[in-house]
Chains A and B, each alone.
Chain A
């Protein structure tokens, strides 16, 4: 979970314009000394391990579990064996992202255009705060709410019997909206907040109805924010484990759950490695598509969350 927030940090920390190395007697030795500890960590705990995962994905499962050297595409050809996990992830994650965007939009609109200016940042911060708390605990709370003693028992009291929510796709969707709303609101807020309001006034002067000026000005101009939020939420959801584990209860599982099972239970490491490679490939493809179509078009600045 924690890393999800770090992703938000990354998106938030605008990487640009750097003055770069400045003039004046800078010794490369000192630069190397400053960077080398971090470089060592990146080489030994990131590049090499990821490379090993790729190598493993072409190997075979050892008889007792683990890895036996080989060169085969069998693991990749076998990916359909976990097709259900891919299918769940690739249908529920986009759907949840869409619902989250729809729920977040009016909230961001309220904060950016309707809320009193002096409360604006505080109100926005209040939307984000839940994101800082433990993901385990937040989904655990929803286990209680959606479990048999929660909402279903209240509904039974008013005559709607035998409704099961927990461990269904709906529970995972509710959890996803809850979990990722704090990540979706700020980018939309930013794109709405910097919107030039004179455009809307001008549209009104020219006889546009509020609805048509919303559809023709506000909405299109805030789409980059919606896209940024959606990209963040989508890639985080795709790699999620706790949400489907808690609210899907083993019945609705994502790729992350399949990975934990493959590595820690069935110990089929090479196949698990192939599944991880496929997951990361899908994520990076998503990011590339986002960069190409959205960032390129708008030059939208990214948003901070941490």
Chain B
């Protein structure tokens, strides 16, 4: 055991022990944190028969699915379009992608909150007159805000794959009298598929785990992170360990699948985003 190995071991312990602790205490039969009373799975039963948790989970899954679907479609289209774009417009768009990703979540939350409130204040008299109800914030505003930054993520991922794609394949298809759409469907799309699916999974996970943007624009709706946040604030509750364990497992598996897809070195595509930053 060299000192370096020892150090590495210590780092892994540091990184994983806290996560393991949450999982461990989700099987605690006692109700206090850090006070082991014996093995039990009761908190899973209690958590998943809790109406509020189940509803929050449903809301979160709904938002995440809608976000993943919309941002994958819109982002992939945009990535394909941007390949064809040059000049100032292209640079402007690239800058926007980075702004969407760099501006802190808190500020995105605030900006979208103000935008929605201003919009609703202006439009609601008309909407109320026409439809007899008012537009309000809720899951759909959260979805809109999530789609915004996940479009940027999907564009970056799909574009990385697109850049690595061998143009000769597209040209060969054209030489063989494929229509542009036929080329797209039979050559480009299959090559992009891993990146698109990875983008979908990433967008789903990012949306599912977002707390701060939803905190601003969810209105009366409660997402799972909002529920978890407020129950942690009220005091540590053992239910949260159980919910947390399930969420950890789910998001880890999604991310691992996304990683595996991004690493597939198939055909002409070079690895899009090497998982661990190598090379």
Is A9 in the interface zone, CB < 8 Å from B?
A: yes
Q: In the complex, A48→B251 CA distance in Å?
A: 32
CB neighbours (8 Å) of A138 from chain B are 18-19
Contact A263:B155 (CB < 8 A) given known A137-B247, A239-B106: no
Interface centre among B74, B90, B262, B278 (most CB of A within 10 A): B278
Main secondary structure of the interface of A (DSSP, over half): helix
A43 CB → nearest B CB, Å? 9
Interface hub of A6, A30, A272, A279 (most chain B Cβ within 10 A): A6
Q: How far apart are the CA atoms of A9 and B112 in the complex, in Å?
A: 23
> Are the CB atoms of A259 and B210 closer together than 8 Å?
no
Contact A181 B11 (CB under 8 A): yes
A178 touches B163 (CB 8 A): no
Q: Which A residues are in CB contact (< 8 Å) with B99?
A: 46, 50
A-B contact count (CB 8 A): 331
User: Which partner residue on chain A sits nearest B155 by CB separation?
Assistant: A38
The reply on B240 being an interface residue by CB < 8 A is: yes
Q: For window 80-130 of chain B, which residues contact chain A by CB distance below 8 Å?
A: 80-86, 90, 93-94, 96-108, 110-115, 117-118
B101, B114, B273: the one contacting A52 at CB < 8 Å is B114
B102 touches A10 (CB 8 A): yes
Q: Contacts A52-B114, A53-B114, A260-B215: A31 and B81 contacting too (C-beta < 8 A)?
A: yes
The 8 Å CB contact of B4, one of A2, A110, A123, is: A110
- Residues 7-50 of B contacting A (Cβ, < 8 Å): 7-8, 11-12, 14-16, 18-19, 21-22, 25, 32-35
A181 to B115, CA, bound (A): 35
Known pairs A186-B276, A276-B110; A106 contacts B4 (CB<8 A): yes
Q: Is the CB of B229 within 8 A of A136?
A: yes
Asked if A133 and B102 sit within 8 Å, CB to CB, the answer is: no
Whether A136 pairs with B211 at a CB distance below 8 angstroms is: yes
Known: A2-B207, A48-B115, A144-B34. A9 touches B96 (CB 8 A): no
The residue of chain B having its C-beta at the shortest distance from the C-beta of A114 within the complex is B4
* A224 contacts chain B at the CB level, 8 A cutoff: no
Chain A residues, Cβ within 8 Å of B150: 6
Q: Is B75 on the interface with A (CB-CB < 8 A)?
A: yes
A45, A107, A287: which contacts B102 (Cβ < 8 A)?
A: A287
Which A residues lie within 8 Å of B112 (CB)? 45, 49
| A140 proximity list for chain B (CB < 8 A) | 22, 228, 232, 236, 240, 244
**B residues 195-232 in Cβ contact with A at 8 Å:** 202, 205-213, 215-216, 225, 228-229, 232
Chain A contact residues, CB within 8 Å of chain B = 1-7, 9-10, 12-15, 17-22, 24, 26, 30-35, 37-39, 41-42, 44-50, 52-53, 56, 66-67, 103, 106-107, 109-111, 114-115, 121, 123-130, 132-138, 140-145, 147, 149-150, 153, 178, 181-182, 186-187, 189-190, 193-194, 235-236, 238-242, 246, 256, 259-260, 263-264, 269, 272-273, 276, 279-280, 283-284, 287, 303-306
Instruction: Name 4 extra pairs, CB < 8 A, besides A134-B244, A145-B21, A242-B229.
Output: A1-B212, A24-B174, A66-B117, A149-B35
11 contacts between A and B (CB under 8 A): A1-B210, A20-B85, A49-B111, A115-B8, A137-B248, A143-B232, A144-B22, A190-B279, A242-B229, A260-B215, A263-B110
Q: When A and B form their complex, which 10 residue pairs have the shortest distance between CB atoms, in order from nearest?
A: A239-B104, A34-B81, A2-B206, A49-B111, A141-B18, A38-B78, A186-B277, A303-B277, A35-B81, A49-B115
